């Protein structure tokens, strides 16, 4: 790819609090080579193409760091049941919830699953998402977990980061959690590794799902096999997830609704990102996580949709940001940071993505709107263009 000069852009500052007009950057092979005032572009760059961004606002594109976008079937019926007072746990214990999606996903032919997933990915792309995390975890056996992860290799559009979430729930073939996790670590993780299907392992730690002792053994084995870890933690109760995430230096602990002051303090001292998922909290009618306390203590906070058919059947980034502002008292710059740089950190991508700096990917959004037009209307992202590695994406 030839060297491209992007000029006449109004560049948003890295803290999302100010902006500078008449800026430019030089991009080679998708990577930012130089960034500065447009009348100071060094002569040595052999510019092949120059793109005038017409004084539009430019800021890093969004990174959606927690989704369950590959699944078949619907849980609309369960939504009605929950609305009538039956709890998520009760539904799960009767074989519904995650296990009902498991049945549909195991049965789905790979090409149908690919079609469904690509359509959902396209919905994220339209909202300015250049990097998207997708978890497996609705198959819960070797053959079909591999099927899910192989599908992710065929997805077009944004960069996909795959996470192995075999430890999402215990499938009916097993009667003991520790036995199932042992199966995952000895029979499944080595295959995932060998086929290079994922570098990340996730687990749902919660009372009645996976509990502390067996989770610790499993996660330690995943780390020993070279996986990074992330944990669904403290969503329904003050369970051991967040504690283990901090102890094992997980990349992120996600949900984290139930946190005490000690844990908040520990987050602030760690590099583990607290990934907050407020649309799941809306659908689950539970409390929102203590975002203000986490941020004020100095912890890293990211935001994501948690898109899945059960607890968060919404792909709407605007709604996530809106709830973060309305219900969690996050400021607009904090929401932008949570959806860009901090989300990159949650995925371990901060050296390449999440901000516009020399050496990083030229992944950016360009718009005539103002920053405060974002995360304000539910269901609507202001009109914008998305560039991934310097190339405009038509979606
Ligand atoms: O992040 N908490 C566990 N996993 C998902 C829900 C998955 C489901 O209900 O299908 C979550 O909320
Ligand atoms: Fe989730």
Q: What percent of the chain has pLDDT over 70?
A: 100
pLDDT of residue 1 exceeding 60, the answer is no
CA dist 225 and 53 (Å) reads: 46
Give the nearest ligand 1 atom to 98 CA: 10
The atom number, within ligand 1, closest to the CA of 206 reads: 2
Cβ pair 276, 256 in contact under 8 A: yes
Measuring CA to CA, how many Å separate 45 from each of 11, 26, 62, 124?
Answer: 21, 8, 29, 34
pLDDT tens profile 253-291: 999 999 999 999 999 999 999 999 999 999 999 999 999
How many alpha carbons fall within 13 Å on the CB side of residue 345?
20
Question: For 195, left (φ over 0), alpha (ψ -120 to 50), or beta?
Answer: alpha
Question: Which helix (H) or strand (E) covers residue 20, if one does?
Answer: strand 19-28
355: which residues sit within 8 A by CB, 6+ positions away?
14, 60, 340, 341, 344
Q: What share of the chain is helix, strand, coil (3-state, %, to 5)?
A: 35, 25, 40
Distance CA(203)–CA(117), nearest Å, equals 22
Q: How far is CA 85 from CA 67, 101, 258, in A?
A: 26, 21, 21
Look-up: residue for tokens 């760091």? 65
Q: Residue 33's closest CA among 48, 19, 55, 21?
A: 48
CA-wise closest residue to 35 among 48, 17, 22: 22
Percent above pLDDT 90 for the chain: 97
SS3 115: helix
Q: What is the mean pLDDT of residues 358-362?
A: 98
pLDDT of residue 212: 94
Question: Considering the entire predicted model, what is its pTM?
Answer: 0.97
Average pLDDT over the chain reads 97
Q: Which atom of ligand 1 is nearest to the CA of 97?
A: 9
CA of 279 relative to ligand 2 center, distance in Å: 11
Confidence band for 208, pLDDT divided at 50, 70 and 90: confident
> What are the pocket residues of ligand 1 if the criterion is a CB atom closer than 6 Å to any ligand atom?
68, 97-98, 101, 204, 232, 235, 280, 306, 308-312
**Given pLDDT bands bounded at 50, 70 and 90, which one contains residue 307?**
very high
Provide the 3-class DSSP secondary structure of residue 152. helix
Burial class of residue 36, CB neighbours in 10 A (0-12, 13-18, 19+): middle
Nearest of 27, 347, 307 to residue 160 by alpha carbon = 347
Ligand nearest to the CA of 257: 1
């Amino acid at each position: 790819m030839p060297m491209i000069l992007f000029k006449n852009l109004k560049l948003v500052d890295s803290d999302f609090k100010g902006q500078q007009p008449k800026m430019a950057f030089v991009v080679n092979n998708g990577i930012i080579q130089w960034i500065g005032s447009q009348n100071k572009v060094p002569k040595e760059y052999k510019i092949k193409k120059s793109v005038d961004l017409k004084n539009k606002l430019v800021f890093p594109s969004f990174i959606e760091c927690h989704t369950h976008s590959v699944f078949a079937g619907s849980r609309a019926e369960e939504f009605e049941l929950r609305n009538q007072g039956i709890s998520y746990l009760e539904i799960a214990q009767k074989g519904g919830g995650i296990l009902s999606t498991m049945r549909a996903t195991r049965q789905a032919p790979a090409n149908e699953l690919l079609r469904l997933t690509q359509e959902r990915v396209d919905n994220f792309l339209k909202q300015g998402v250049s990097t998207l995390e997708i978890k497996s975890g609705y198959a819960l056996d070797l053959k079909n977990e591999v099927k899910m992860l192989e599908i992710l290799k065929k997805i077009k559009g944004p960069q996909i980061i795959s996470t192995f979430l075999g430890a999402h729930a215990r499938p009916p073939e097993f009667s003991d959690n520790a036995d199932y996790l042992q199966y995952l670590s000895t029979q499944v993780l080595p295959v995932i590794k060998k086929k290079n299907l994922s570098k990340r392992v996730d687990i749902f730690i919660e009372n009645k799902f996976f509990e502390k002792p067996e989770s610790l053994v499993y996660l330690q084995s995943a780390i020993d096999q070279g996986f990074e870890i992330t944990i669904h933690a403290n969503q329904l109760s003050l369970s051991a997830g967040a504690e283990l995430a901090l102890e094992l230096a997980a990349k992120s602990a996600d949900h984290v609704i139930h946190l005490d002051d000690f844990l908040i303090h520990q987050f602030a001292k760690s590099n583990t990102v607290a990934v907050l998922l407020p649309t799941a909290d809306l659908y689950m009618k539970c409390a929102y996580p203590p975002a203000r306390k986490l941020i004020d203590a100095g912890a890293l906070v990211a935001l994501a949709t948690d898109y899945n058919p059960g607890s968060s059947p919404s792909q709407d980034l605007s709604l996530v940001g809106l709830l973060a502002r309305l219900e969690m008292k996050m400021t607009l710059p904090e929401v932008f940071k949570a959806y860009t740089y901090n989300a990159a950190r949650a995925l371990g991508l901060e050296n390449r993505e999440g901000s516009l700096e020399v050496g990083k990917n030229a992944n950016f959004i360009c718009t005539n709107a103002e920053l405060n037009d974002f995360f304000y209307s539910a269901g609507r992202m202001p009109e914008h263009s998305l560039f991934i590695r310097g190339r405009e994406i038509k979606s």
